[in-house]
A and B are shown apart, each in its own frame.
Chain A
Amino acid sequence: MKWKSRVFGPVLAAGLVFSLSPALAETVLRVKPSGDVKVLDPTIAADSIARNFGYMIYDTLFAVDESLTVQPQMVESWSTSEDGKLWTFTLREGLAFSDGAPVTSADVIASLERWAKADAMGQALSARGAVWTQVDDRTFTLGLDRPWGLVLEALGKPGAPVPFILPARVIAAAAADQPVTDQTGSGPFVFVKEAWIPGSKLVFTKNPNYVPRAEPASGLAGGKVAKVDRVEWLILPDQQTALDALKQGELDIAEDIPTDLIPLAQMSPDVVISNQDEIGVAQQMRLNSLVPPFDNPKVRQAALLATNPQDYLDAMASGDDSLAKICRSFYVCSSPVYTEAGFPAPDLEQAKALLQEAGYDGTPVVILNAAENAQINPASLVAEQQLEAVGFTVDVQAMDWATVVTRRTSKEPVSNGGWSIFISGPGGLDFMVPNSHLGLRSNCEGAWFGWPCDATIETLREAYGEAPDLTARQQIAEEVQAKALETVPYVPLIVQYQIRAARSDLQGILATPAPVYWNIGRE
């Protein structure tokens, strides 16, 4: 007995000492975001993580609620002239930046002019001759040379880059095309730059100057009430560690947990699993329309017919249709204009016939495979197998994502370092409706990588913004889809949901297109 106490005594004592790890304060929310914030400027770095960072510290004029309807946020009232060419907006009273300075029309105009250069919908506004004019500190106008039905949708868009409002002085201090260096905002939280460890930790505290709306929080709209004093974003590169930390209460929320860890998370009574939103990400096979073999529309059509999304669902989401969905459309399933009209079922024989008809000469299809990515790698391998099955010669080239994003800018033929396909999963928000659709944009040089070129689609996208009602919009969406089935700028694979794991004692987590951390408290 004596030897046991000698051996285990110190061990237990050490255990007691070490078990006194710091208790979680009631008012701290620890979150593992789905990635690290690379650049602290959500306008320059138009990715979803930078956007999520933006929602913490900045506010927007308008925002979408849980039904994706645009609602006023910083704006108190607005009106439009009879001809629809002049919009007048008035800011809510008492809006202030975290340093105490009031938010004025000048800040709004500087922010929106900067955003319009970076965003497709902002560019659409500019193309209609948008002129922003300050009337007084709280009132400003937007003049257009022709009416546009999507002004509020543009100002309340939740997809990156979001039209966040920054102080005009901060924008003026930043060099052109360079990120801002001061993160002062008028959002519900303040970024604590001194506590920032890039690649490891970001700290936000409650903004004492924030004035939430009176309405309850709904989606990204309504009262953004910070119910914790401090939010910490912990960049945990290892997903298993993140899950263990969540189970042990060292972490409160883990965004975007991988499919294979979901069953493990579900085993813990302290952890709740849910979809981050019902929109998901649009996993797709982007085709390079500029160079052979996909410079021929028939070859692109063959690739579409060769694709069986079920195999992708099996490979990328373990075949679990609660984690991903097959949307037989160029629009994500939750789109208000979702249509399956004309979308073909997989047909290998027809794909082979099309390839023959196109005179496919065996030019290799080069797939840029970001092999370190748990979604892209299996999808690339499925693509290889499916394309080879109909007669394509496929060359899957493994690399990291940083190389993919560089290689995909190349317009060279595949024999000279070019590419044919890359797999990507941009946010589904950018795949909802024709005019802001990232994948269907077919304005040649201005289009997304792959540079599809089709005047009809562009005309229809333009018309969508001017359609009077949902029926007309639905009609245009179907026409766009019919044309896209001929041009095939990309092949839709699956819509995959991002899964959130959270501690079960948290309340008020909102179902939003971007993960946000206001309104969340503990039981």
Chain B
Amino acid sequence: MLTFVLRRLLTTIPVMIFVALFVFSLLYLAPGDPAALIAGDQATPEQIEAMRRSLGLDQPFLVRFWNWSWQVVQGDLGTSIFSNLPVTTLIAQRLEPTLSLMLLTVALSVLIAVPMGVLAGARQGGWIDRAVMAMAVMGFSVPVFVIGYLLAYVFSVRLNLLPVQGYTPLAEGFRPFLANLILPAVALSGVYIALIARITRTAMIDVLSQDYIRTARAKGLGTMQVLFLHALKNAAVPIVTVIGVGIALLIGGAVVTETVFAIPGIGRLVVDAILRRDYPVIQGVILMFSLTYVLINLLIDLSYTILDPRVRY
């Protein structure tokens, strides 16, 4: 097991090097120039060129890549061209809102979608199954921003129950923290509820046809015990995989929700950086995303050994 973990961690190194080189090259080739944006609308080409020189953007590709890579190896993701703040500081500022939104969304999604999927699987073809699948189709089909606007209109503008926008750090109180996050989390969870519910249903249908389920029922166990203790545990591997993938997708996928509800998260940080060509921020955030994806995948793989004793590394 330990060997497996170490081997997997070692394989992240070439992955990260490839990601770094790929992102750096892509940004180098992409049109756009932060110097022109900083210099403003009135700047002459000479002023823009002077700005490029002072930012080091006139350096050859290899020199710039080497300088940046050397910084990254030392744990320094660089400094934003615009705000002049370290990229690590910018990420740290945005981490809490994004993590909070992500965790609340995952919690909501799992708490709602798993029971829905279990019931739909247990009542395959019945009205519960059809209702759950209809809701899943709706969850997939309605864009997050539409749900977001509707929720904000109903609960904020009409009922005046929750704030329209913004984020309050947890340190300033749990109530305002939750008040700011509940609508974005509900809006964002729609698609994940749909995804997890469908996978749970499929996995349950497969498991419920197994002999050991018939045996459990023959022993006289109640329906709930059979479904949630015996069947769900054995259907868990694909469900956990989807939840893990969902978490990974959420890291960058929350950008629309963050925009609609004005949450200062990492999604908005990277989108703003792309629009401005703030290269160090884009590179730093994508590296962080990549590392998180790799680690989440590793955790998912490790969870299989707990959920399924047959799996050994």
Interface residue ranges of A171-191 to B (CB < 8 Å): 175-179, 181
Which of A45, A198, A234 contacts B166, CB < 8 Å?
Answer: A234
A430 and B164 within 8 A (CB): no
Inter-chain residue pair count (beta carbon < 8 A): 163
Distance between B96 CB and nearest chain A CB, rounded to angstroms: 11
Report B248 CB to chain A, min CB distance, Å. Answer: 23
In the complex, are the beta carbons of A38 and B276 less than 8 A apart? yes
| Residues in B whose Cβ lies below 8 Å from that of A236 | 165, 262
> Which residues in B have their C-beta under 8 angstroms from that of A403?
31-32
Contact status A198-B83, CB under 8 Å? yes
- B51→A38 contact, CB < 8 A: no
Asked if residues A50 and B40 are in contact (CB atoms below 8 Å), the reply is: yes
Q: Is the CB of A247 within 8 A of B157?
A: yes
Let me know if A237 and B262 touch, CB within 8 A: yes
Verify if B162 is at the interface (C-beta below 8 Å from A): yes
Give the residues in chain B near A160, CB-CB below 8 Å.
Answer: 40, 42
How far is it, in angstroms, between the C-alpha of A399 and the C-alpha of B30 when the chains are bound?
11
Q: Which residues of the other chain, A, contact B261 by a CB distance below 8 angstroms?
A: 241
Does A85 count as interface, using CB distance less than 8 angstroms? no
Given A47-B40, A403-B31, is A234 in contact with B262 using a C-beta cutoff of 8 Å? Answer: yes
CB–CB A245/B82 < 8 A: no
Bound CA–CA A127/B85 (angstroms): 37
Check if B175 sits within 8 Å of A445, measured CB to CB. no
Q: Find out whether the CB atom of A248 lies under 8 angstroms from the CB atom of B163.
A: yes
CB of A402 within 8 A of CB of B276, answer: yes
Chain B residues, Cβ within 8 Å of A67: none
Residues of B within 8 A of A36 (CB): 272
* A46 contacts B41, C-beta separation under 8 Å: yes
A405 touches B182 (CB 8 A): no
> Which one of B70-78, B114-122, B148-156, B218-226 contacts A?
B148-156
B44 to A407, Cβ gap below 8 A? no
Q: How far is the CA of A508 from the CA of B161 in the complex (A)?
A: 31
Q: Tell yes or no: A471 within 8 A of B by CB.
A: no
A43 to chain B, nearest CB (A): 10
Q: Does A118 contact B (CB under 8 A)?
A: yes
> Do the beta carbons of A15 and B161 come within 8 Å of each other?
yes
Say which residue of A118, A175, A248, A402 sits within 8 Å of B33 (CB atoms): A402
Chain A residues closer than 8 Å to B80, beta-carbon distance: 198
CA distance A38 to B149 in the complex (A): 28
Chain B residue numbers with a CB within 8 Å of A238 are: 259-260, 262
> Is B159 interfacial (CB-CB < 8 Å)?
yes
Pairwise interchain contact A402-B178, C-beta atoms closer than 8 A? no
In the complex, the answer to whether B262 meets A118 with C-beta atoms within 8 Å is: no
Asked if B275 and A402 make an inter-chain contact with CB atoms under 8 angstroms apart, the answer reads yes
Contact with B along A18-58 (1 / 0, CB 8 A): 11111000000000000010111000111100100000000
Using A17-B175, A430-B42 as known contacts, say yes or no to A250 and B264 having CB atoms under 8 A apart.
no
CB atoms of A201 and B264 under 8 A apart: yes
A contact residues around B272 at 8 Å (CB)? 36, 198-199
Q: Tell me the minimal C-beta distance from A94 to chain B in angstroms.
A: 32
CA distance A411 to B45 in the complex (A): 10
Whether A446 is near chain B, meaning CB under 8 Å from some CB there, is yes
- Which residues of the partner chain A approach B36 to less than 8 Å between Cβ atoms? 402, 405-406, 409
CB <8 Å contact, B178 and A18: yes
The answer to whether B166 touches A406 (Cβ under 8 A) is no
> Which chain B positions have C-beta within 8 A of A77?
none
Instruction: List A residues 235-251 near B (Cβ within 8 Å).
Output: 235-238, 240-242, 244-245, 247-248, 250
CA distance A449 to B44 in the complex (A): 7
Q: Flag if A250 contacts B42 (CB, 8 Å).
A: no
Contacts of A242 in B (CB 8 A): 165, 262
Asked if residues A19 and B152 are in contact (CB atoms below 8 Å), the reply is no
Whole-angstrom CA separation of A22 from B165 in the bound complex: 12
Cβ-defined contact, B163 with A21, below 8 A: yes
A46 B33 Cβ-Cβ under 8 A: no
Q: A241-B261, A248-B163, A403-B31 are in contact. Are A22 and B38 (CB under 8 A)?
A: no
Q: Specify which chain B residues have a CB less than 8 angstroms from the CB of A178 in the assembled complex.
A: 54
Task: Output the least CB separation between B7 and chain A (Å).
Answer: 39
Q: Which of B47, B152, B159 contacts A118 (CB 8 A)?
A: B47
Q: Are B38 and A244 in contact (CB under 8 A)?
A: no
Chain B's closest residue to A236 (CB) is B262
Of A17, A38, A247, which contacts B37 at CB under 8 A? A38
Cross-chain contact A39 with B82 (CB below 8 angstroms): yes
Which B98-116 residues have C-beta < 8 A from chain A? none
Contact of A197 among B41, B53, B93 (CB under 8 A): B93
Bound state CA distance, A118 and B38, in angstroms?
A: 12
- State how many angstroms separate the Cβ of A136 from the closest Cβ of chain B: 34
Within 8 Å by CB of A38, from B31, B38, B43, lies B38
Which residues does chain A contribute within 8 Å of B54, judged by CB atoms? 175-178
Q: How would residues 224 to 242 of chain A score, 1 for a CB under 8 Å from any chain B CB and 0 otherwise?
A: 0000000000111110111
CB distance from A19 to the nearest CB of B (A): 5
**B275 A250 Cβ-Cβ under 8 A:** no
Query: Complex formed: what's the CA distance from A204 to B10 in Å?
Result: 47
Considering residues A118, A161, A244, which has the most beta carbons from chain B within 10 angstroms of its beta carbon? A244
Of the residues A44, A248, A445, contact of B160 by C-beta under 8 Å: A248
**Chain B residues, CB < 8 A from A118:** 47
Tell yes or no: A424 within 8 A of B by CB.
yes
Interface positions of B from 32 to 73, Cβ below 8 Å from A? 32-34, 36-48, 50-51, 53-54
B90 at the interface (CB under 8 A from A): yes
Q: Which residues in B have their C-beta under 8 angstroms from that of A507? A: none
Please tell me if the beta carbons of B175 and A405 are within 8 angstroms of each other in the complex: no
Question: A residues within 8 A CB of B32?
Answer: 400, 402-403, 405-406
Given known A-B contacts A118-B47, A402-B32, A244 and B157 have beta carbons under 8 A apart: yes
Are B42's CB and A241's CB within 8 A? no
Q: What B residues does A433 contact at CB under 8 A?
A: none
B201 proximal to A (CB < 8 A): no
B3 at the interface (CB under 8 A from A): no
Is the CB–CB distance between B161 and A18 below 8 Å? yes
CA distance A140 to B11 in the complex (A): 67
Verify B82–A402 contact, CB threshold 8 A.
Answer: no
With a CB–CB cut-off of 8 A, which chain A residues contact B198? none
Q: Are B43 and A241 in contact (CB under 8 A)?
A: no
A343 within 8 A of B: no
* Nearest Cβ on chain A to B55's Cβ, whole angstroms: 8
5 nearest CB pairs, A to B: A200-B264, A46-B40, A402-B32, A406-B33, A198-B83
Add 13 more A-B contacts to A248-B157, A402-B276 (CB < 8 A): A19-B162, A47-B41, A160-B40, A161-B42, A198-B83, A200-B262, A236-B165, A241-B152, A241-B165, A245-B164, A406-B33, A407-B31, A409-B36
Interface, chain A (partner B; CB < 8 A): 15, 17-22, 36, 38-40, 44-47, 50, 118, 120, 160-161, 175-179, 181, 196-201, 234-238, 240-242, 244-245, 247-248, 250, 399-403, 405-407, 409, 411, 424, 426, 430, 438, 445-449
**A–B Cβ pairs within 8 angstroms, 8 of them:** A18-B179, A237-B262, A248-B156, A250-B164, A409-B45, A438-B41, A438-B42, A446-B44
Interface of B toward A, CB cutoff 8 Å: 31-34, 36-48, 50-51, 53-54, 80, 82-85, 90, 93-94, 149, 152-153, 156-157, 159-166, 168, 175-176, 178-179, 182, 259-262, 264, 268-269, 272, 275-277
